[in-house]
Amino acid sequence: MAVSKGSEPWILMVTARSPTNIAVIKYWGKRDETLILPINDSISVTLDPDHLCTTTTVAVSPAFDSDRMWLNGKEISLSGGRYQSCLREIRRRAGDVEDEKKGIRIRKVDWERLRVHIASYNNFPTAAGLASSAAGFACLAFALAKLMNIKEENGELSSIARQGSGSACRSLYGGFVKWVMGNDASGHDSIAVQLANESHWDDLVIIIAAVSSQQKETSSTAGMRESFDTSTLLHYRSKVVVPRRILQMEEAIRNRDFQSFARLTCADSNQFHAVCLDTSPPIFYMNDTSRRIINCVERWNQFEGTPQVAYTYDAGPNAVLIARNRTAASLLLKRLLFYFPPSPDTELTSYLLGDKSILEEAGLQSMKDVENLQAPPEIKGGISVDKNSGSVSYFICTRPGRGPTLVVDEDQALIDPRTGIPKFPNMDSSILQAQIRQQGDDVTVHLDMIIGFGSWDFSPLDLENPFPNNEGSVHLWHGDHDLMVPVSLQRYIAKKLPWIHYHEVPAAGHLFAHGNGYSDAIIKALLLGEKWGQ
């Protein structure tokens, strides 16, 4: 059994950070639902974790009674097959662990009985079509492997992450990554391999458009099952089209051939959505805004004669736009802000997140500069341009980035080393926009985006009740989703801010579903009162 020198119960923790990734040759369709084995290879670009990442702390202690997990501050069940597969596969490979400083020794055999606590946070909207589950399961596998001292060989870890969420296997590497479908029924050869690291092609700039949507989306798990069962085109795609494209894409990446890269990326995104449409009943992930963005890019690429930007869409309406270089990216940004200006009263810096330096390169200092943007030259004079203010929630500027990393600063751990449960939301969530509007008796708090981690002290509280006479209510929402607030915080807020009215959204089947990572931001918005009383 695990031992410690002292008699006090000990806790051993590891914190890691993992990137998300965007497929440029898409994964759609499984040949094995349980093991998550795909029907074709796929290729992705890892996105810079500075802008989009999951942070996960895993802790082990003989005092823990059961495996537990908190996602974005809320405890979730680990009973699902996907979590169980990951935990089982990881435990099977666990090694001896010794922490001399803390005087802890855990033998290989101890891991079967030791329970773990897991706390995980996304610094971007969960289930907003930004591959939160890919980053999440990659981070879980990576952090547990470090905690349990697993000697990883031959992409074994990616094979474990894959069993949590298929595309998670690709988030275990930085840069350009191929998920080899494999042949074996056991799935041991269905692993991710790095094609090139992030510095191989560092000209690329990625702009993500978070597209507003009211439609309930089909989960990718259900969607690919339905496509597999009903789309006649899917099987032709996976057998005939994709193998050819994989070779071409590998070559394009190897040669940093943007023209081929863009052509293949756009064609494969479109074909993936074509297959969704060929499903019965049809699945629609893109909406009218997604299509307007495609038209904007296609028109510009055609005008230039050679592609400046590639677009790709996952199982949602958000666009991921890959510009050939920073010059193209700043020209793209101008176009995007011209066609999709922010709603009135939005700060420009809260409309473009991530790498904001691109704003300066585009010569955009303020909203006035955005308002003064001229129609791009590919728009012929006389054609009326319809501007779509409000149809994009925000943009994120990022780039290809590195794979998972350990977070060595113990202060950044998400679990309290004394209690073994998550710290109270110990994050510095930069609130990019917190608009509070009052209409009659109702107040709406609109938080536009939260990004970035860090520490933020909860007290002393500096609150004022906006309804001294206790009338009215506050409705909390983010984009089109009602916000979820962890129960612990609900009690806290209920005590401190009795005028808040909650709308609980029942969790969907998918564990990483729904926008529930905003508790800290709500509180900060309310406590700090940004734009209070507007």
Shortest spacing between CB 213 and a copy of itself, in angstroms: 10
Instruction: Name the token pair of 80.
Output: 């699902």
| Residue number, 237 or 334, with CB nearest to a copy of itself | 237
| Residue number, 161 or 297, with CB nearest to a copy of itself | 297
Positions that interact with a copy of itself (CB under 8 A): 214-215, 230, 232-233, 236-237, 240-241, 263, 266-267, 270-271, 273-275, 277-282, 284, 287-288, 291, 294, 298, 302, 386
Read off the DSSP letter of residue 191: -
Cβ neighbour number for residue 470 with a 10 Å cutoff: 8
Q: Which amino acid makes up residue 366?
A: S
Shortest spacing between CB 478 and a copy of itself, in angstroms: 17
**Beta strands 442-447; 473-478: pairing state:** parallel
In angstroms, the CA 40 to CA 163 distance is 16
Shortest spacing between CB 326 and a copy of itself, in angstroms: 25
C-alpha 47: how far from chain center: 10
In angstroms, the CA 518 to CA 340 distance is 25
Shortest spacing between CB 187 and a copy of itself, in angstroms: 28
Which residue is associated with the tokens 């329970």?
115
| Residue number, 10 or 228, with CB nearest to a copy of itself | 228
Q: First CA to last CA across the chain, in angstroms?
A: 60
Shortest spacing between CB 424 and a copy of itself, in angstroms: 32
Provide the β-strand partners of residue 434. Answer: 447
| Residue number, 282 or 452, with CB nearest to a copy of itself | 282
Shortest spacing between CB 288 and a copy of itself, in angstroms: 5
Shortest spacing between CB 447 and a copy of itself, in angstroms: 21
Do 457 and 487 touch, CB atoms closer than 8 A?
no
Do 472 and 442 touch, CB atoms closer than 8 A?
yes
| Residue number, 221 or 269, with CB nearest to a copy of itself | 269
| Residue number, 213 or 398, with CB nearest to a copy of itself | 213
| Residue number, 69 or 484, with CB nearest to a copy of itself | 484
| Residue number, 214 or 372, with CB nearest to a copy of itself | 214
Shortest spacing between CB 310 and a copy of itself, in angstroms: 12
Helix locations, 182-241, DSSP H: 220-230, 232-236
Shortest spacing between CB 15 and a copy of itself, in angstroms: 39
Nearest 5°: the CA angle 338, 342, 344 is: 120
Do 181 and 36 touch, CB atoms closer than 8 A?
no
> Mind giving me the DSSP string for 71-94?
ETTEEE---SHHHHHHHHHHHHT-
Q: Which of 444, 447, 312 is nearest to 393 (CA)?
A: 447
Q: Which of 152, 149, 171, 165 is nearest to 60 (CA)?
A: 149
Nearest 5°: the CA angle 130, 304, 318 is: 15
| Residue number, 87 or 294, with CB nearest to a copy of itself | 294
